[in-house]
Amino acid sequence: MPRAESKASAVWHGDLMHGNGSISLKSGVIQNQPVSWTARTERGDNVSQTSPEELIAAAYASCFCMGLSNGLGGNGTPADELRVNATAIFDVGGGGVKVASIHLDLEGKVPGVSAEDFDRFAQEAKTGCPVGAALKGNVDLSVDAKLVS
């Protein structure tokens, strides 16, 4: 299988605390999206800006869904729907700054699978997907899986 390249760019102006920047993805789905230190540390209602942590949460949630979908399909129990909400925690403290954890809340409609098997597949996908594997050992990863009808 050929290697796939994903490309993004960033621009920054000024110092960390008062400066600002933007990110763009080569695919064009995000262009000149504003980023700032405030967006990282004071999320609140500041929905017009993103942060690296929000982007990592989105990347992990989508990769996790793909990995889980693959595991369930290989089991002969493909998902009708998987919904994941990812919460990334960015810690600013005495130990420096870091992405401390990402928690996934998963709901899945998966005919023919037990709640126990669904949870097992979810736990396997947690670090089985490429983004989860990249984060493993650096970020505390957790998943709460709920099977819905």
Distance CA(82)–CA(31), nearest Å, equals 28
Name 32's bridge partners.
Answer: none
Binned at pLDDT 50, 70 and 90, residue 149 comes out as confident
Residues 113-127 have a mean pLDDT of 96
Residues 6+ apart with CB under 8 A from 4: none
Is it the case that residue 1 has pLDDT exceeding 80? no
Locate tokens 């993103």: which residue? 50
The predicted model gives 92-110 an average pLDDT of 91
Place 87 in a pLDDT band, splitting at 50, 70 and 90: very high
